[in-house]
Amino acid sequence: MLHVKTNTIQGYKGMNIPFTMLSKSEDSEKLAILLPGAGYTVQAPILHYSTGVFINKSFDVLQVKYQYNNEFYADFSMDELSEAIKMDVHTVLDSVRAEKTYENVYLIGKSIGTIAMSSVLEREEFKKAKAIWLTPLIQREDVLGSMAGSVNKGLFIIGDKDPYYSEERFLKGAENPNITPRLIANVNHSLEYDEDIVESIDVLKSIIKDIENF
């Protein structure tokens, strides 16, 4: 039986940050942490099916449901938004880890979630975590630097039609021997083709298989 527990915690400037913990049992020592994009939520295809993958492997799954499209953040600079993302995610993780510790941890970050992920991986307790980088914001020095220097085993997936993609920066992240890179031709920031739904579903299937096998 799947247990679902939803909670909120005060994050940056007092904004409530919702999060949901899904678990099959109370004694799992495995945790998958989902850090979605701003528009690409945990209900979006890759993260929805990733949740299922980890639930089927008896992981607890933590979905951080920040809402940076909210009007509250409309006047934030990118620097301040980055500060908010990092603080919010660390605050949620501190709350979860105060109740339970885990031996086996996966971090799955999509887009803006990779800003938080790069910060979380600096924490000592996540030095052995596995990192799944989905369309990471590799134009940012903090994200690319984290990937290039990471000691964590990683999976790195991006499309060459993603506006944040550049060959030079992709290769810099991909050269880390701890990271398995996958560049998908002609897909966008959602890891989909702009005008081909059926082929997009095939890409989705292949990505979920990569995540399941990682």
CA distance 51 to 56: 9
**Paired residues of 5 in beta bridges:** 21
CA distance 138 to 171: 10
pLDDT for residue 136: 98
pLDDT for residue 26: 86
Output the domain CATH number for residue 19.
3.40.50.1820
Task: Annotate 169-206 with DSSP letters as a single string.
Answer: HHHHHHT-TTEEEEEETT--TTSS-TT-HHHHHHHHHH
The total of structural domains in the chain comes to: 1
Print the domain residue range for 35: 3-213
- Determine contact, residues 159/185, Cβ cutoff 8 Å: yes
> What type of residue sits at position 44?
A
pLDDT along the chain (214 residues), means of 10: 95 96 93 97 97 97 96 94 97 94 96 98 95 98 97 98 97 97 98 96 98 98
pLDDT for residue 1: 86
